[in-house]
Chains A and B, each alone.
Chain A
């Protein structure tokens, strides 16, 4: 039996097409994935992301534990509510998972991890905790639902639906969160648009969802979430990286703190092994076949491979993220092998659309 979120009945009542998503019964779309995608770029859409797991770390040693566990530097988190994107590495420098960590107090952090990695992550963190001196308590918050409301008008529609949230979040900077009783609002997301991610008791999820619908927020499935994150050039665990891939080869060097003296799990392995690949973007030159993961990419500097590819609703053509040889430069031509034919593509920076704006040259 697949696992269900507190919003499962709501999705079914809305006529969602449900799929098994890493063991969870989740909506892939409510009719048209492309319309849902545009709603987020142009106005406001929302996603049930309750399958992701929040893990609270309480107690003395919480910061020290994360300093040792995460590749990004939690010492950058000094103001309560501040969030940080980080990889959690294994001892060989591969990516166990990517996550967001929120700092609330020196003895209280919250990390939010991928649904499909939640059990592995918990076991990993527990195993590290046992070896750690003053270890924090780990609390898996399966009781929380999560709703991501995203788009240029997402914040104002949340405020319209929940007027009490306006004053405490109007000045909330990007990548910060705030706790309002049992509700947490964070100005984060996975779409390249402004908006909030809300964490709330599961029992309240349905009522919140309905209030957002009434405020004009369009329900969106995980299909649109994937094309939005791809356009934004954001990595997906299992596609751009996994336990065998170095974050440096997955375009995540900016999240890895190799500069400070702090030691963390995987650091020695990363220092011993230089970056071998770079993550770049591809745009199909012709409006032809769709670029997909695992397709081979030929360039004058050698062969690469697509890690994620799809049709971009905003560009109305196919785009992809690809792991490429270090010598490949943006602007270079590339040929992608699709069903035995060569599809012309161009190498670009791995960010296609942010805040409703197309970032790549559309020749």
Chain B
């Protein structure tokens, strides 16, 4: 299971990573893609919509089941990765390259409250 050091993590297995424009990319962790199995469908959030922290904002479906993606931090969606929804199997190939959407966070403390790589690795191993 990979957990890159430069990312932040949620208890519900999303990752959050800084972009050069001040927004943050969001995807699901390597552990999550392993548990879900082959990903076959993504429902992405609309650009411009605001979500609260922890709010369900997207859906990922594997052959096995559908799962909600929860917004790691409160904020507005500034981009959605439409290319990824055309080939969702990229999530299995490299979960940390497969960003689903970008969010502009409202509160810096939301980010500070997320888990680092070490804490997440411990959480996922439970």
Q: Report how many residues on chain B are interfacial, defined by Cβ distance under 8 Å.
A: 15
**Using Cβ atoms and an 8 Å threshold, which residues of chain B touch A287?**
41
**Using Cβ atoms and an 8 Å threshold, which residues of chain B touch A223?**
37, 63-64
Q: Mark B54-92, 1 if CB is under 8 A from A, else 0.
A: 000001010111100000000000000000000001001
**Cβ–Cβ contact A28 & B61, under 8 A:** no
**Residue in B40, B63, B92 with the greatest tally of chain A CB atoms within 10 Å:** B63
**Using Cβ atoms and an 8 Å threshold, which residues of chain A touch B35?**
17
Q: Residue A134 at the B interface, CB < 8 A?
A: no
Closest approach, in angstroms, between the C-beta of B29 and any C-beta of chain A? Answer: 15
Q: Which of B16-68 contact A (CB under 8 A)?
A: 34-35, 37-38, 40-41, 43, 59, 61, 63-66
Q: Residue A90 at the B interface, CB < 8 A?
A: no
Q: Residue A339 at the B interface, CB < 8 A?
A: yes
**Cβ–Cβ contact A227 & B63, under 8 A:** yes
Q: Mark A324-351, 1 if CB is under 8 A from B, else 0.
A: 0000000000000001000000000000
Q: In the complex where A289-B41, A311-B40 touch, is A32 in contact with B66 (Cβ < 8 A)?
A: no
**Cβ–Cβ contact B59 & A311, under 8 A:** no
Main secondary structure of the interface of B (DSSP, over half): mixed
**Cβ–Cβ contact A17 & B40, under 8 A:** no
**Using Cβ atoms and an 8 Å threshold, which residues of chain A touch B92?**
32
In the bound assembly, the distance between CA atoms of A32 and B92 in angstroms comes to: 9
**Using Cβ atoms and an 8 Å threshold, which residues of chain B touch A311?**
38, 40-41, 61, 63
**Cβ–Cβ contact B66 & A34, under 8 A:** no
Number of A-B contacts (CB under 8 A): 44
**Cβ–Cβ contact B37 & A289, under 8 A:** no
Q: Which of A289-331 contact B (CB under 8 A)?
A: 289-290, 292, 310-311, 313
**Cβ–Cβ contact B37 & A29, under 8 A:** yes
Closest approach, in angstroms, between the C-beta of A228 and any C-beta of chain B? Answer: 12
Of the candidates B37, B41, B65, the one whose C-beta lies within 8 Å of that of A288 is B41
**Using Cβ atoms and an 8 Å threshold, which residues of chain A touch B40?**
290, 311
Q: Which of B85-103 contact A (CB under 8 A)?
A: 89, 92
A311 to B, closest residue via Cβ: B40
**Using Cβ atoms and an 8 Å threshold, which residues of chain A touch B66?**
289-290, 292, 339
Chain A interface size, under 10 / 10 to 19 / 20 to 34 / 35 or more: 10 to 19
**Cβ–Cβ contact A28 & B37, under 8 A:** yes
Q: Which of A87-146 contact B (CB under 8 A)?
A: none
**Cβ–Cβ contact B38 & A290, under 8 A:** no
**Cβ–Cβ contact B38 & A34, under 8 A:** yes
Closest approach, in angstroms, between the C-beta of B40 and any C-beta of chain A? Answer: 4
Q: Residue A86 at the B interface, CB < 8 A?
A: no
**Cβ–Cβ contact B41 & A17, under 8 A:** no
**Using Cβ atoms and an 8 Å threshold, which residues of chain A touch B61?**
289-290, 311
**Using Cβ atoms and an 8 Å threshold, which residues of chain A touch B43?**
289, 339
Q: Residue A33 at the B interface, CB < 8 A?
A: yes
Q: In the complex where A32-B92, A289-B43 touch, is A310 in contact with B63 (Cβ < 8 A)?
A: yes
Closest approach, in angstroms, between the C-beta of A44 and any C-beta of chain B? Answer: 20
**Using Cβ atoms and an 8 Å threshold, which residues of chain B touch A313?**
63
Q: Which of A20-34 contact B (CB under 8 A)?
A: 28-29, 32-34
16 A-B pairs whose Cβ atoms sit less than 8 Å apart in the complex: A17-B34, A17-B35, A28-B64, A32-B37, A32-B92, A33-B37, A33-B63, A34-B89, A223-B37, A287-B41, A289-B43, A290-B66, A311-B41, A311-B61, A313-B63, A339-B43
- A→B interface (CB under 8 Å): 17, 28-29, 32-34, 223, 227, 287-290, 292, 310-311, 313, 339
- B→A interface (CB under 8 Å): 34-35, 37-38, 40-41, 43, 59, 61, 63-66, 89, 92
